[in-house]
A and B are shown apart, each in its own frame.
Chain A
């Protein structure tokens, strides 16, 4: 143990250094700093406890607004816990910092370092314990979390929780999701390791109420926090996961980053989480860890992500689409999917060229989706690739979706959807005429705007006029 602790200590030190460098470069660093700041706050706990209570109340309101019940629940729970201990003070500090607009990052950075140094020793020990437990239970995150909590409590990590609450509050204000908040807290705690576990437990409880994902994330964070050194690796893994999955997860991940920074176990845990929760949740957790590794505990980063997540009222829609599609067509048909916030939060699916027609047909024919109306079809030349963009609407469900497919630019070719929607006939001809995209299976793929003997496709970025007469 002692060896491990030493390692951890060294590792943490290095990690911190690295982190500070990262922070300079990235927002993630800020998150760590925040965590550190929290640690400091722990020292100041008693004074600000009152303030925290107030904040917690605010947080509740906010969460209600956001409709995110879990977040609220979690925030409250944490807030309550935190209040008792001196964490409130820390929270207050954090809030103040937030108010200063500089976000948690700045303070976090400064405070974090100093406090981190102080706290490291204690936490490392805690972390090691936590990591051990985690490893033992691998899948049973909840247990680990509980254990962690217990340990943390024992180790004076109560303060850390307060910090977490703070972060939560900040998130709430920002309208961030509860998960993110939880994750953020977890990270902060991770810095002190002991606290982290506790938070993880908290977050898990919140998740239970809400959904398994949050838990996974929290668990991941806790683990990550425990072992900062290995976090970097975890972050990488998380990033991979991110690529696989949705943004929400990513947000959670960011929070978890702090945790990730802590240890290698984060990865392990993430794996365990994946097995446990399967699918999205696991992924989310993994991401959370990864992010944690990258950005550590900075609240600023968390809030940003939270903001991104929050304003997607269509997230459930997207989840539904993806779920139905994956159930019926398998995991491989989608290249990507996300909420396009710039386009009124339309759920966007990116198909692979070879599965494009299959997916389009499924979107139209499936009873749960039933996209019977093709609102728009066009192509674009993005220089690296060609893209065909469809905007579909289901009059049965009154739901939109946009479907994209990226195709090779040199020989742009994709299946025609005219057999599905006759309305795609002319738009596809237009895309062929102006961009040179070949639609396989189109009944009459001829030029529509330009004369039949026109040379070239005008909307291509490399188009040069053949006839220089004009």
Chain B
């Protein structure tokens, strides 16, 4: 009889596959994980505390740094929360610009996920292909907002900058280009036997578990819950677009991959329609008081970020700073299920599972 001993393996916070400063303490028996304990907080910057001394407009740049791969949706959620409180009507053109940049951001975010996930699994090239396309998007967003990662683009009541000359055309051209490249990804990766062997049946959970663990986004949709706040609780002007909610039944890493890839296509559909409907002119800012003071009270809004349901809670006392600001950060919630998924798995699957959850540490740690 061979006697084995459990070993503690500390993965992170400096580890190539944790996508930031995430740490997980593994108790392993051979390469088998007996227990996994995630440790977070290395990137905690106290956004919520800082926000209590900031005016609403000043908070927006902080949101850029939460989910830094999809900063536009973060911008939006706080603007949307304040607008909901103040009952503000956002101009048409601004709404379209918002939707465009958010969906572009969604694609960019999914591309990063696609690339890094494949890199985690050991394929190097898709990462670079994905970043090539992402670069196009980043350039588009750079052109409109002046930033490549932290855009600080939206404001309460609208957006900061109007689309520059020809920008809409560039977005229009991007859609077919991206579709073509997406087909290439599928050729390269989706049918690959090794890739399938690595992701199929990995990190599996049921619909009930997903709901119990408050998962959202593709992590929830992969279990068969057709749930997308853009469709089910339409905000902004999402009710004007025709798009599907990709959902799968299996609940494993493979279905999450499929969901996200299909979401890129749906986002392209939205962009296509938004470009067609884009109003030729109009204001990009509503009439908003110089100093924003939402009425006293509290609000909670939630929208669909690339990683799931991002929410914003504001308790206001009618002052120019929020009394309490709280973000519901999807990565933070989604990550909770990790210990459960890792139990009994092989170390190699650690990366496939962790990557499949799609976290951004800036968001996990707030």
List residues of chain A with CB under 8 Å of any chain B CB. 340, 342-344, 346, 372-376, 378, 380-382, 389, 391, 395, 398, 402, 421-427, 430, 434, 447-451, 458-459
Against A, the Cβ 8 Å flags (1 = close, 0 = not) of B290-301 are 000011011111
B272 within 8 A of A: no
Contact B333 A426 (CB under 8 A): yes
In this complex, which of B211, B214, B225, B337 has the most chain A Cβ atoms within 10 angstroms of its Cβ?
B214
Contact B311 A422 (CB under 8 A): no
Given the interface contacts A423-B336, A448-B41, does A375 sit within 8 Å of B295 by beta carbon?
A: no
Against A, the Cβ 8 Å flags (1 = close, 0 = not) of B227-252 are 10000100000000000000000000
| Residue among A375, A402, A451, A459 making CB contact with B49, cutoff 8 Å | A459
Chain-A contact segment, one of B59-67, B121-129, B324-332, B353-361: B324-332
Against A, the Cβ 8 Å flags (1 = close, 0 = not) of B328-344 are 10001101110000000
**Chain A residues with CB under 8 A of B328:** 375-376, 378, 391
**Chain B residues with CB under 8 A of A424:** 214
Contact B299 A373 (CB under 8 A): no
| Residue among B311, B324, B337 making CB contact with A375, cutoff 8 Å | B311
For this complex, 30 residue pairs linking A to B, each with C-beta atoms less than 8 Å apart, are A340-B298, A342-B84, A342-B294, A342-B295, A342-B297, A342-B299, A343-B84, A343-B298, A344-B84, A375-B214, A375-B216, A375-B328, A376-B300, A376-B326, A380-B315, A382-B315, A382-B324, A389-B313, A391-B311, A395-B225, A398-B232, A402-B300, A422-B212, A422-B213, A423-B213, A423-B215, A423-B333, A423-B336, A458-B46, A458-B49
Known: A373-B211, A458-B46, A459-B324. 20 other contacts (CB 8 A): A340-B299, A342-B84, A342-B298, A342-B299, A343-B299, A375-B216, A375-B328, A378-B328, A380-B326, A389-B298, A389-B313, A391-B302, A391-B311, A395-B227, A402-B300, A423-B213, A423-B215, A425-B336, A426-B336, A449-B44
B309 within 8 A of A: yes
Residue on B nearest A343 in the bound complex, by CB: B299
Contact B326 A378 (CB under 8 A): yes
| Residue among A372, A378, A421, A449 making CB contact with B365, cutoff 8 Å | A449
**Chain A residues with CB under 8 A of B309:** 375
- The CA-CA distance from A402 to B298 in the complex, in Å, is 11
- The CA-CA distance from A86 to B35 in the complex, in Å, is 84
**Chain B residues with CB under 8 A of A340:** 297-299
Given the interface contacts A342-B295, A423-B333, A449-B365, does A373 sit within 8 Å of B214 by beta carbon?
A: yes
Residue on A nearest B365 in the bound complex, by CB: A449
**Chain A residues with CB under 8 A of B324:** 380-382, 459
How far does the Cβ of B154 sit from chain A's closest Cβ, in whole Å? 19
How far does the Cβ of B259 sit from chain A's closest Cβ, in whole Å? 17
B40 within 8 A of A: yes
Q: Is the interface of A mostly helix, strand, loop or mixed?
A: mixed
Contact B302 A375 (CB under 8 A): yes
Contact A449 B366 (CB under 8 A): yes
Q: Is the interface of B mostly helix, strand, loop or mixed?
A: mixed
Given the interface contacts A344-B84, A421-B212, does A450 sit within 8 Å of B326 by beta carbon?
A: no
**Chain B residues with CB under 8 A of A398:** 232
**Chain A residues with CB under 8 A of B323:** 382
B48 within 8 A of A: yes
| Nearest 9 pairs of A and B residues by beta carbon | A423-B214, A343-B299, A449-B44, A449-B41, A342-B297, A376-B328, A342-B299, A380-B324, A378-B326
- The CA-CA distance from A350 to B211 in the complex, in Å, is 24
Contact B300 A389 (CB under 8 A): yes
- The CA-CA distance from A402 to B328 in the complex, in Å, is 14
List residues of chain B with CB under 8 Å of any chain A CB. 40-41, 44, 46, 48-49, 84-85, 211-216, 225, 227, 232, 294-295, 297-302, 309, 311, 313, 315, 323-324, 326, 328, 332-333, 335-337, 365-366
- The CA-CA distance from A344 to B312 in the complex, in Å, is 12
**Chain B residues with CB under 8 A of A381:** 324
**Chain A residues with CB under 8 A of B337:** 422
Residue on A nearest B216 in the bound complex, by CB: A375
**Chain A residues with CB under 8 A of B326:** 376, 378, 380
How far does the Cβ of B84 sit from chain A's closest Cβ, in whole Å? 6
**Chain B residues with CB under 8 A of A426:** 332-333, 335-336
- The CA-CA distance from A384 to B300 in the complex, in Å, is 21
Contact A372 B301 (CB under 8 A): no
Contact A395 B211 (CB under 8 A): yes
How far does the Cβ of B225 sit from chain A's closest Cβ, in whole Å? 7
- The CA-CA distance from A382 to B316 in the complex, in Å, is 11
- The CA-CA distance from A227 to B163 in the complex, in Å, is 66
How far does the Cβ of A393 sit from chain B's closest Cβ, in whole Å? 9
**Chain A residues with CB under 8 A of B44:** 449-450
- The CA-CA distance from A85 to B301 in the complex, in Å, is 51
**Chain A residues with CB under 8 A of B213:** 422-423
**Chain B residues with CB under 8 A of A372:** 211-212
**Chain A residues with CB under 8 A of B84:** 342-344
Contact A343 B301 (CB under 8 A): yes
- The CA-CA distance from A380 to B326 in the complex, in Å, is 9
**Chain B residues with CB under 8 A of A380:** 315, 324, 326
- The CA-CA distance from A458 to B333 in the complex, in Å, is 21
Contact A449 B40 (CB under 8 A): yes
- The CA-CA distance from A451 to B333 in the complex, in Å, is 20
**Chain B residues with CB under 8 A of A449:** 40-41, 44, 365-366
Contact B336 A391 (CB under 8 A): no
How far does the Cβ of B88 sit from chain A's closest Cβ, in whole Å? 12
How far does the Cβ of A385 sit from chain B's closest Cβ, in whole Å? 13
Residue on B nearest A378 in the bound complex, by CB: B326
**Chain B residues with CB under 8 A of A422:** 212-214, 336-337
Residue on A nearest B312 in the bound complex, by CB: A376
- The CA-CA distance from A450 to B49 in the complex, in Å, is 13
Contact B333 A450 (CB under 8 A): no
- The CA-CA distance from A374 to B311 in the complex, in Å, is 12
How far does the Cβ of A405 sit from chain B's closest Cβ, in whole Å? 14
Residue on A nearest B43 in the bound complex, by CB: A449
How far does the Cβ of A54 sit from chain B's closest Cβ, in whole Å? 30
Contact A376 B311 (CB under 8 A): yes
Residue on A nearest B212 in the bound complex, by CB: A422
In this complex, which of B232, B294, B298 has the most chain A Cβ atoms within 10 angstroms of its Cβ?
B298
- The CA-CA distance from A378 to B84 in the complex, in Å, is 20
**Chain A residues with CB under 8 A of B297:** 340, 342
Contact B214 A421 (CB under 8 A): yes
- The CA-CA distance from A434 to B214 in the complex, in Å, is 21
- The CA-CA distance from A265 to B83 in the complex, in Å, is 46
Contact A427 B333 (CB under 8 A): yes
- The CA-CA distance from A340 to B300 in the complex, in Å, is 9
Given the interface contacts A389-B300, A402-B300, does A448 sit within 8 Å of B40 by beta carbon?
A: yes
| Residue among A346, A373, A447 making CB contact with B300, cutoff 8 Å | A346
**Chain B residues with CB under 8 A of A458:** 46, 49
- The CA-CA distance from A422 to B297 in the complex, in Å, is 29
- The CA-CA distance from A426 to B366 in the complex, in Å, is 13
Residue on A nearest B315 in the bound complex, by CB: A380
- The CA-CA distance from A438 to B294 in the complex, in Å, is 31
**Chain B residues with CB under 8 A of A373:** 211, 214
Residue on B nearest A373 in the bound complex, by CB: B211
- The CA-CA distance from A447 to B311 in the complex, in Å, is 22
- The CA-CA distance from A423 to B366 in the complex, in Å, is 17
**Chain A residues with CB under 8 A of B232:** 398
- The CA-CA distance from A434 to B46 in the complex, in Å, is 10
**Chain B residues with CB under 8 A of A448:** 40-41
**Chain A residues with CB under 8 A of B301:** 343-344
- The CA-CA distance from A426 to B294 in the complex, in Å, is 30
